[in-house]
Amino acid sequence: MSTIALDAVHEEPLHVHDVPLSRVVGVELRKMFDTRAGIWLMASILIAALVSTVATILFAPESDLTYYTFAKAIGFPMTVILPIIAILAITGEWSQRTGLTTFTLVPHRTRVILAKVVASVLVGVASMLVALVFGVLGNVAGPAIAGTDRVWDVSFVHGLDIILGSLISLLLGTTLGILFRSSAVALVGYFVISLLLPTVFGLLATNAAGFADLQRWVDLNYAQSFLFEGTASGMQWARLAVATALWLVLPALVGLRLVMRSEVK
């Protein structure tokens, strides 16, 4: 046996280290900003916050120029934009057919999915903080222009509740992205759940005996509405937990199972 062969036999095995989660999160964050579409989608958050603030100052009654009015006006477009960001982040590996490269570099698919979720949540929290800052600016400028007193009617806890409500909407988009792994299907699913189902549930609650009580537990939009209204009770938190488990946790578990079993091309 040659010397080279002997050296190969006695060579110590290579130790392959997992890519740190922080690095994967950093890559996912860069991927959310490194395209023209991604940049404009992120810019739409600032544009929507600015337009909502100006529109509130121009068109809201003087008596309604309060911090809560500005926060609610700015928060509404956020609940639409943030789930879209989450869906595109989750489904990118399948819609852009980069999954084979990604899952070769990071074989643990759950690590990649977790990094995408963390990156989306970081962007969501940062966006909501920007929205709250715009609300402050609006509440400073609006009453000054109208000549009314400033009203700071959003407490710190209520602000956290508003951020949580927006993150639930974002995580719904994340869940649908994991479940369907198709941007188009996930986007349609999100708008059906957020726009169509509340109307259907409302009609059933009005016309079907006994459904009004059930709606409080199964309608995610209804269950999380108290987060934006600033009124919280133990029963409302319990209903939110049940609705979240029904619409977020269970579909996410099914989606993760499908991700682990699906063929990457």
Query: At 11, which amino acid appears?
Result: E
CA quadruple 41, 135, 137, 53: dihedral positive or negative? positive
- 26: in domain: yes
Residue 34, domain member (yes or no): yes
Q: With respect to residue 13, please indicate whether it lies within any of the assigned structural domains.
A: no
Q: Compute φ and ψ for 233, nearest 5 degrees.
A: -140, 165
pTM of the predicted model as reported, rounded to 2 decimal places: 0.84
* Number of domains observed in the structure of the chain: 1
Q: Is residue 100 part of a domain?
A: yes
Structure tokens at 153: 């009617």
Three-state secondary structure along 148-204?
CCCCCCCCHHHHHHHHHHHHHHHHHHHHHHHHHCCHHHHHHHHHHHHHHHHHHHHHH
Q: Six-digit token pair at 53? A: 């603030």
Cβ pair 152, 67 in contact under 8 A: yes
The answer to whether residue 160 sits within a structural domain is yes
Contact call for residues 10 and 43 (beta carbons, < 8 A):
no
- Dump pLDDT digits (tens) for 140-180: 999 888 888 888 888 888 888 888 888 999 999 999 999 99
- pLDDT the model gives residue 17: 60
Asked if 228 contacts 72 with a C-beta cutoff of 8 angstroms, the reply is yes
Q: What does the pLDDT profile of the chain (265 residues) look like in tens digits?
A: 444 444 444 444 444 567 788 888 888 888 888 777 778 888 888 898 899 999 999 998 888 889 989 988 888 888 888 899 889 888 887 776 676 677 777 778 888 899 999 999 999 888 888 888 888 999 999 988 888 888 888 888 888 888 888 899 999 999 999 999 888 999 999 999 988 998 999 899 888 878 888 888 999 999 998 888 877 888 999 999 999 999 999 999 999 998 888 776 6
Residues sharing a CB contact under 8 Å with residue 153, sequence separation 6 or more, in sequence order: 66, 67, 68
Q: Is residue 12 part of a domain?
A: no
- The residue behind tokens 């133990």 is 234
Query: Which residues form the domain of 171?
Result: 21-258
pLDDT at residue 249 in the model: 94
Q: Is residue 244 part of a domain?
A: yes
In a domain, 192, yes or no: yes
